[in-house]
Structures are given as structure tokens and as C-alpha cells.
């Protein structure tokens, strides 16, 4: 683990000390090297349960794909932010890149933490650089309100988690994830359903579960492009990862709380998908689509079956790459038109024909067209849900239909029709933007060949 954590940690002083002319090329090159190095974690010889184990850090088939996704996203965030940072003075560029690399380090440590208290500390630490990125580099004045929403939703939900973890430490006399799983108490969660709820509330907000999601669209819309990418691709998965880790330890789930949460997750898929159909803001549409996909992940994790957990892992990785690519595409439009209103940015196929190909491919993966990795994850989850209750096929079926509808709506609104008369000359797409799309589409395509790399090896 240290061969990935230490080079990532050293990127922060590099961002503060490098010469301005070499700042972006060197940081992008080194972060790409770290991303390639992190691919080694996906190699699990003899299907070992965990590797690189120490007192506080370890990696296993659940955390390895998420660590690799985090490492892969850092160079993409830096590439996407170049145009946004051009008018900024060098000091602000350095601070922005240092915030990104600090966030990256804390995310890698969070995914590799093997102790619950250590995991909680790192889980909350990720809040600080994210808040700095949203409030300091956001586009509009509402970014401060978005930051307050993000801060208070996260902090108020994580306080019950801290109390629950201290209570668990008092019972088991340790908070190691591996040891607690080895000494389960089946009467524990049944007799204390509110303790189970307290353990999972912070992750439900971060995921986010429908009803606890109001901070997400605000944060996405006001954040700069790097903030939107890391929020959608990694920070939501942090909620899913914590949900998966802690709910496994507190098995069996109390039925009095399990059913309402399952209904909320499935109903949330329909509600947020329907909201997407009437959105006028492109970034808000992509943000609400994230809530819809994460509803499927929440339902899968609550079921605790091998197929459901494998599907949840695959969908988290696939959605991380897809949503990040969608925000990057929305940003390429915004940099040229300076608006996110769908009615105004129509007809871009005529001006940016090559970028339309990327729009088409990413939209097809977003609506889970076979043989995409998104399709594999959704198929596993929907099958597991149908096995759990045949009634769920109605909700998931309608949800899939609405997802396809708003994805096609987004594609047609942005690409087809005639260009608005207020845009006389639009810049052509740059090599940097095509490279960014290629780095998103390459892992999505390669994972089709071996989905087991992202499945967490539950089956």
C-alpha cells in the first residue's frame, strides 16, 4: 500500500514547489504513473481475502477496484481543470492542485483502512479538501450555500456513526473490521435496531439514499469540474463502500428498518429518474441521475446476497467512470457556451462532431446498453432483487425505462437541432479533451472483457 500512498502524498509538495511552466505536465505524468502502479492491486493471486495487511491498512477485492478508480481519476481531474485554471494566478493554481492531491491521498487511505475508528477519521477528513474545492473554486455565489449543505448533511449524519463505533468498541474491545466479522452476535442488531441505523446513516447520506440527497445536486451544480468529477466518481462510492463494510458486520439486518429503507431506495430510483426528465440544467440532470443509480446500489447492499453485492461493486465502478465522463462532456460545452441550460446548448453536433461520438458512447453506457459493464452490474442487481421479491421487477423495470428516456433526452437536446443564434463562433475541441474522453472510455471498454476485476469476488 505504501508504494501508492507515499508517491501520492509527495504530489502535494510537488504542486506547491514545481516551476509554473512544468506544473501541469509533471503532475499529470506522475499521477498517471501512480494510476498504472495501482493496477497491481487488482491482481489477487489464489483469490486471497486480503493483501498488504498491516495493523491499520490492507487491500482486498472490495477496496482494490475503488483505490484504482481513485488513482485513475486524479490525472483526469487535472486535465479537465486546465482551462478552468488558466486565468487564475499561479498561487491559486498551486493551492487547487494541492487540494486535489490531498483529497486523493485521504481517499486512498480511507479505502484501505482496516480499522473502523481509523476509517471514520479518514472518512471525515475527505470532507475538508472537498469543501475547499467547492467553496473556493465554484462558479457562482451559491457555492457557499452548497458548501454549507454539504458540510451539515455529512457532519450531522456522521455523529451517530461515531457514537455507534464507540459503543461497538466497548462491546468487542476492538474495532478491526476483520476481527468483528469473526465474532458475530446474531441477537445484537435485532435487539438494537437503532444502533444498526446509526451505523449506516452516515453512509446513506453520502451514497446518497433518496430523501437524504438534497445536498448532492447543489454541490454538483456549484462545484468546479474537478469537484463534480470527484463527487460523482469517488465520494458517492465512499458511502457505498462504507455501507458494504459495516452492514456485513451487523448481519442479520433488523426487519423493522430494512423494509422502509429498501422501499425508499427503490422508490428513489423512480422519483429521481422522473426529476431528470424535467431538468433544464445539464449538470443538475447528471447529478440526479447519480442518485437514481445509487438507489440500485443501496438496495443491493441491503440484500446482502453474493449476486447483489457483486452487482453493487460493478455498478459503483461503472457509474464512477460514466458520471465523471458525463460531467467532463458537460464542461466542454460550458467552456464554449458559458451556459448549462439545455434549450440553449442544442445542435452541438454541427460544431463539435467528434465530441458527439463521445456523447453517444457515454450515454449508451449510462443507460446500461449491453455489453457495457453498467449492464452487467444492473442485471445482477435486478436479478437479485427479483429473487428477493418478484414485485420489485415493476419498479426496476420502470426505472430502467425512465433512465433510457432521460439519457436519450439529454443526448438529443445537446447534440441535435439547430445551433442557437447567440453562439457565432465556437472553438473546436482540443486534443486535451479527446484525451480526457479516451481515458474514461478505455477502462469502461476493457472492463467488458473481465468484469470480475470490479466485482469484489463475492460469488
| Long-range Cβ pairs for the range 354-361 (8 Å, 24+) | 354/429, 354/434, 355/329, 355/429, 355/433, 355/434, 355/437, 356/415, 358/325, 358/329, 358/434, 358/437, 358/441, 359/329, 359/411, 359/414, 359/415, 360/411, 361/441
Residues 14 and 107 in one domain: yes
Residues 170 and 133 in one domain: yes
Task: Kindly report, residue by residue over 41-73, the tens digit of the pLDDT.
Answer: 888 776 666 776 677 888 888 999 999 999 999
Does pTM top 0.75 for this prediction?
Answer: yes
In the numeric block, the cell 437536446 is attached to 413
Residues 245 and 284 in one domain: no
Task: Kindly report, residue by residue over 89-144, the tens digit of the pLDDT.
Answer: 999 999 999 999 999 999 999 999 999 999 999 999 999 999 999 999 987 788 99
CA torsion 80-85-86-90 (nearest 10°) is -130
Look at residue 214 and give its three-state secondary structure: coil
Residues 280 and 236 in one domain: no
The rounded distance, in Å, linking the Cα atoms of 110 and 104 is 10
pLDDT-based confidence at residue 82 (cuts at 50, 70, 90): very high
Residues 65 and 21 in one domain: yes
Backbone angles phi, psi at 236, to 5 degrees: -65, -35
The rounded distance, in Å, linking the Cα atoms of 300 and 229 is 24
Instruction: Give the bridge partners for 57, in sequence order.
Output: 113
Task: Kindly report, residue by residue over 322-375, the tens digit of the pLDDT.
Answer: 999 999 999 999 998 888 999 888 888 988 999 999 999 999 999 999 999 999
Other Cβ atoms closer than 10 A to 452? 15
How many distinct structural domains can be found in the chain?
2
**Contact predicate 247/218, CB 8 Å:** no
Residues 334 and 367 in one domain: yes
Query: What does the pLDDT read at residue 299?
Result: 96
Nearest to 332 by CA among 351, 315, 311: 351
Of the residues 197, 231, 253, the one at which a domain ends: 253
In the numeric block, the cell 452476535 is attached to 185
Residues 172 and 148 in one domain: yes
Residues 355 and 456 in one domain: yes
Q: Is the bond leading into 208 cis (omega within 30 degrees of zero)?
A: yes
Structural domain containing residue 305: 262-459
**Contact predicate 59/52, CB 8 Å:** yes
The rounded distance, in Å, linking the Cα atoms of 352 and 118 is 47
**Contact predicate 179/238, CB 8 Å:** no
How deeply is 417 buried, as exposed, middle or buried, from its count of CB atoms within 10 A (0-12, 13-18, 19+)? middle
- Tell me, what DSSP letter sits at residue 231? I
Of the residues 253, 281, 312, the one at which a domain ends: 253
Can you tell me the mean pLDDT for 374-381? 96
Dihedral sign from CA coordinates of 361, 363, 366, 368:
negative
Query: What does the pLDDT read at residue 419?
Result: 85
The rounded distance, in Å, linking the Cα atoms of 439 and 369 is 20
What's the alpha-carbon Rg for the chain, to the nearest Å? Answer: 21
Residues 206 and 321 in one domain: no
Task: Kindly report, residue by residue over 391-416, the tens digit of the pLDDT.
Answer: 999 999 999 999 999 999 999 999 99
In the numeric block, the cell 449508451 is attached to 364
Residues 21 and 107 in one domain: yes
Nearest to 385 by CA among 399, 373, 374: 399
Go through the chain and tell me how many residues it has.
Answer: 459
Residues 161 and 133 in one domain: yes
Residues 238 and 144 in one domain: yes
In the numeric block, the cell 454541490 is attached to 219
The stretches of 18-89 forming alpha helices (DSSP H) are 23-38, 63-85
pLDDT-based confidence at residue 313 (cuts at 50, 70, 90): very high
Amino acid at each position: 500500500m505504501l508504494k501508492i500512498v507515499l508517491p501520492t502524498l509527495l504530489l502535494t509538495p510537488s504542486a506547491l514547489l514545481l516551476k509554473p511552466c512544468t506544473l501541469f505536465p509533471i503532475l499529470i505524468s506522475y499521477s498517471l504513473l501512480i494510476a498504472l502502479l495501482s493496477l497491481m492491486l487488482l491482481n489477487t493471486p489464489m483469490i486471497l481475502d486480503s493483501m498488504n495487511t498491516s495493523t491499520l491498512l490492507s487491500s482486498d477485492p472490495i477496496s482494490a477496484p475503488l483505490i484504482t478508480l481513485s488513482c485513475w481519476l486524479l490525472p483526469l481531474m487535472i486535465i479537465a481543470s486546465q482551462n478552468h485554471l488558466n486565468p487564475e494566478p499561479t498561487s491559486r493554481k498551486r493551492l487547487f492542485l494541492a487540494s486535489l492531491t490531498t483529497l486523493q491521498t485521504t481517499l486512498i487511505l480511507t479505502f484501505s483502512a482496516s480499522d473502523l475508528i481509523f476509517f471514520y477519521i479518514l472518512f471525515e477528513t475527505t470532507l475538508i479538501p472537498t469543501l475547499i474545492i467547492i467553496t473556493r473554486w465554484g462558479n457562482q455565489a451559491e457555492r457557499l450555500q452548497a458548501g454549507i449543505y454539504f458540510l451539515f448533511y455529512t457532519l450531522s449524519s456522521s455523529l451517530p456513526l461515531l457514537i455507534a463505533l464507540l459503543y461497538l468498541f466497548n462491546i468487542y474491545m476492538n474495532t478491526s473490521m476483520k476481527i468483528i466479522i469473526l465474532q458475530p452476535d446474531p441477537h445484537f442488531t435485532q435487539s438494537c435496531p437503532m444502533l444498526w441505523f446509526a451505523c449506516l446513516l452516515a453512509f446513506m447520506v453520502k451514497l446518497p439514499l433518496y430523501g437524504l440527497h438534497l445536498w448532492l445536486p447543489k454541490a454538483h451544480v456549484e462545484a468546479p469540474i474537478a469537484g463534480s468529477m470527484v463527487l460523482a466518481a469517488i465520494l458517492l462510492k465512499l458511502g457505498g463502500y462504507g455501507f458494504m463494510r459495516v452492514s456485513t458486520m451487523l448481519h442479520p439486518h433488523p426487519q423493522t428498518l430494512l423494509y422502509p429503507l429498501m422501499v425508499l431506495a427503490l422508490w428513489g430510483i423512480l422519483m429521481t429518474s422522473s426529476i431528470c426528465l424535467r431538468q433544464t440544467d445539464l449538470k443538475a440532470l447528471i447529478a440526479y441521475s447519480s442518485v437514481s443509480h445509487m438507489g440500485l446500489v443501496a438496495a443491493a447492499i441491503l440484500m446482502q446476497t453474493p449476486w447483489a453485492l457483486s452487482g453493487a461493486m460493478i455498478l459503483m465502478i461503472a457509474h464512477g467512470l460514466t458520471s465523471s465522463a458525463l460531467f467532463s462532456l458537460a464542461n466542454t460545452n460550458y467552456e464554449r457556451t458559458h451556459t448549462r441550460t439545455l434549450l440553449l446548448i442544442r445542435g452541438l453536433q454541427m460544431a463539435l462532431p467528434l465530441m458527439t461520438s463521445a456523447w453517444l458512447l457515454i450515454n449508451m453506457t449510462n443507460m446500461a446498453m449491453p455489453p457495457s459493464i453498467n449492464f452487467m452490474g444492473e442485471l445482477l442487481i435486478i436479478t437479485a432483487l427479483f429473487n428477493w421479491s418478484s414485485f420489485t421487477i415493476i419498479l426496476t423495470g420502470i426505472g430502467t425505462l425512465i433512465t433510457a428516456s432521460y439519457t436519450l433526452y439529454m443526448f438529443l437536446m445537446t447534440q441535435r437541432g439547430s445551433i442557437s443564434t447567440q453562439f457565432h463562433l465556437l472553438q473546436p475541441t482540443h486534443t486535451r479533451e479527446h484525451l480526457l474522453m479516451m481515458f474514461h472510455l478505455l477502462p469502461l471498454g476493457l472492463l467488458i472483457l473481465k468484469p470480475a476485476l470490479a466485482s469484489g469476488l463475492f460469488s
